[in-house]
Each structure stands twice: as structure tokens, then as C-alpha cells.
């Protein structure tokens, strides 16, 4: 009986052995989980680049039809558009759609980002945008209600290289980011001729002209996915994005906040 008790005791785990097993499992979890997260994030980036291809293809069709780029990519809230059903009905009715939805792109999911937690298409946010007046000068167009699920027209302001604002949203797509003047210059805001030409309001802009970006990947990876006029996408480091000027709010003489000049539109795909 004594020998049996000894054998039984030896067949069990000691406390040290149990702790070693727990430590090994913890190390494996610490290794595997980041790998899974990275694979998932890479898949989401690929998804966004696929959406970019669709958007650029339809942008080219829109420009061919109208001789200019649209005011917005997806759309702004109009009338009773508290849902995608109402929005589609209004945009295909008497009100012409300001963007690509739903005439050129019928699936509103194309304008979303899988990293955006807002999946309710009826939720909107007020964003101050600019427009060109008859003289080609950039003026405040006031606040417009954008859908929060729309990652292409507006998104939260980048606070720093690690995070986004929870309350302040800024435009990410605009036809003009500064006044349109004589192409020979002088150019507003101390711009160079090269930077100035990179606006969608100018018909002969280079293929490397910034179109839009999604910043929803900043908290996870510190990356910004940028779409350029020639249709290719570039994954840019957020520090490079911010080096072209932070998303800071200015205030007009009337006290209305706006965001200008949003220097990120000067970004080129080949810039470091």
C-alpha cells in the first residue's frame, strides 16, 4: 500500500510544473493573438483597397459624364433621409444625388470601413466644409450632416500618431482645398505650383492628386489608407500624414469653426 501511494503521488503535477505549463500557455497566447490581429487588420486593409478601386472607377465615370468631380463621394443627409431606404428614394427622385450613391455605386457598404464601429447608416455628424464661390475663392459652406458610417467623406480628427478624436470630425474629401486662381500664380497660402495643381477642382491635375483617405486604421496600426487620382492606393504612416499639417480647427470672423488649410491634401504617394 505504501508503494502504491508513492506511485500515485509521483503521477501528479507539482506546483512548479503547473506554473511552468501556465507560463508556456501564456507565452503562446501572447505570440499568437498579435499574429491573428495582424492578419485580420491586413484583411481589412485589402478590403478597403478593393473599395477604393470601385470608387475610383466610378469617379472617372462621373467626371466623364459631368465634366467635374462630385461634391461628395457618398452623400449628405437630405430631407427625411434617416435610413438608406429613404436616402435612396430621395436621391433617385427629384433631388439629384451630390455624390456617387446610388446612381454610380448602389451598395453603400463600399463607402464604409470595417474598422469603423458605427454600422448604423442613419447616424450622422455635423462637419464644416468649404466651397468655391463664383470667383474661384474658397469660402465656408457651413455645417453639413454626413453619415458616420461613411469613411470617405469625413472621419474623426487625428489627435496624434496613436488616436482619433471622439467628438471632432473633419472632411477627408473635397473638390477644392484652397482658392482656384491663375495657374501661373501667385498661389494662396504659400503653396508651390506643384502642390496647388493637386486639387480635384482643377481638370488637368496630376495622377498623384489626393482624392480621399480612411483614417480608421490609425488606432490599430498608425496607418492611413490614401486614394490617389490615378486609382492607386497607398498605405501611409500617420506621422507622414501629420507632417503635412495637423487637423486643427480655425475660426472664421463670424465665429464659425472650420478646418483649414487641411494640408494633408498636398500629400503625394512618393513623398517620404
The length of the chain in residues reads 272
* Residue 196 reports pLDDT greater than 70: yes
Supply the pLDDT for residue 240.
Answer: 82
Alpha-carbon distance 174 to 135, whole Å? 18
Task: Specify if 192 maps to a domain.
Answer: yes
Alpha-carbon distance 8 to 228, whole Å? 71
Task: Specify if 272 maps to a domain.
Answer: no
Q: What is the mean pLDDT of residues 202-212?
A: 90
Task: Specify if 125 maps to a domain.
Answer: yes
Task: Specify if 182 maps to a domain.
Answer: yes
Task: Specify if 261 maps to a domain.
Answer: yes
Total number of domains in the chain = 1
DSSP string, 194-252: HHHT--TTSTT--TT-EEEEE-TTHHHHSEEEEEETTS-EEEEEHHHHHTT---PEEE-
Which residues face 154 on adjacent strands? 171
Supply the pLDDT for residue 182.
Answer: 78
Supply the pLDDT for residue 23.
Answer: 80
* Residue 260 reports pLDDT greater than 50: no
Nearest residue to 252 via CA among 130, 157, 135: 130
Determine which of 8-22, 89-103, 172-186, 202-216 has the lowest per-residue pLDDT on average.
8-22
Task: Specify if 271 maps to a domain.
Answer: no
Question: What is the tens place of the pLDDT at every residue in 67-89?
Answer: 999 999 998 887 766 677 777 77
This prediction has a pTM of 0.81
Domain limits at 158?
2-266
Supply the pLDDT for residue 195.
Answer: 84
Determine which of 41-45, 73-77, 95-99, 233-237 has the lowest per-residue pLDDT on average.
95-99
User: Beta-strand (E) ranges in 54-197?
Assistant: 124-132, 138-147, 154-160, 163-171
- Sign, CA dihedral 152-154-156-160, equals positive
Task: Specify if 68 maps to a domain.
Answer: yes
Bigger pLDDT: 55 vs 102: 55
Nearest residue to 77 via CA among 127, 116, 139, 133: 127
DSSP code of residue 189: G
Question: What is the tens place of the pLDDT at every residue in 35-44?
Answer: 667 778 888 8
Alpha-carbon distance 129 to 107, whole Å? 25
Bigger pLDDT: 192 vs 6: 192
Amino acid at each position: 500500500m505504501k508503494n502504491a501511494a508513492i506511485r500515485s503521488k509521483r503521477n501528479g503535477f507539482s506546483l512548479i510544473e503547473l506554473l511552468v505549463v501556465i507560463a508556456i500557455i501564456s507565452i503562446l497566447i501572447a505570440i499568437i493573438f498579435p499574429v491573428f490581429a495582424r492578419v485580420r487588420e491586413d484583411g481589412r486593409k485589402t478590403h478597403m483597397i478593393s473599395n477604393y478601386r470601385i470608387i475610383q472607377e466610378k469617379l472617372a465615370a462621373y467626371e466623364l459624364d459631368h465634366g467635374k468631380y462630385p461634391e461628395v463621394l457618398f452623400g449628405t443627409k437630405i430631407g427625411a433621409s434617416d435610413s438608406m431606404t429613404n436616402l435612396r428614394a430621395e436621391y433617385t427622385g427629384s433631388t439629384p444625388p451630390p455624390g456617387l450613391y446610388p446612381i454610380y455605386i448602389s451598395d453603400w457598404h463600399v463607402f464604409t470601413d470595417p474598422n469603423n464601429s458605427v454600422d448604423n447608416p442613419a447616424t450622422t455628424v455635423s462637419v464644416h466644409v468649404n466651397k468655391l464661390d463664383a470667383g474661384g475663392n474658397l469660402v465656408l459652406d457651413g455645417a453639413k450632416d454626413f453619415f458616420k458610417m461613411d469613411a470617405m467623406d469625413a472621419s474623426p480628427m487625428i489627435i496624434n500618431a496613436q488616436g482619433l478624436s471622439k467628438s471632432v470630425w473633419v472632411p477627408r474629401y473635397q473638390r477644392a482645398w484652397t482658392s482656384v486662381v491663375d495657374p501661373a500664380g501667385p498661389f494662396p497660402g504659400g503653396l508651390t505650383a506643384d502642390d496647388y495643381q493637386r486639387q480635384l477642382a482643377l481638370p488637368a491635375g496630376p495622377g498623384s492628386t489626393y482624392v480621399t483617405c480612411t483614417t480608421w486604421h490609425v488606432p490599430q496600426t498608425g496607418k492611413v489608407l490614401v486614394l490617389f487620382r490615378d486609382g492607386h492606393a497607398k498605405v501611409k504612416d500617420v506621422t507622414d500624414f501629420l507632417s503635412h499639417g495637423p487637423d486643427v480647427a480655425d475660426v472664421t470672423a463670424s465665429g464659425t469653426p472650420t478646418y483649414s488649410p487641411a494640408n494633408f491634401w498636398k500629400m503625394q504617394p512618393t513623398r517620404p
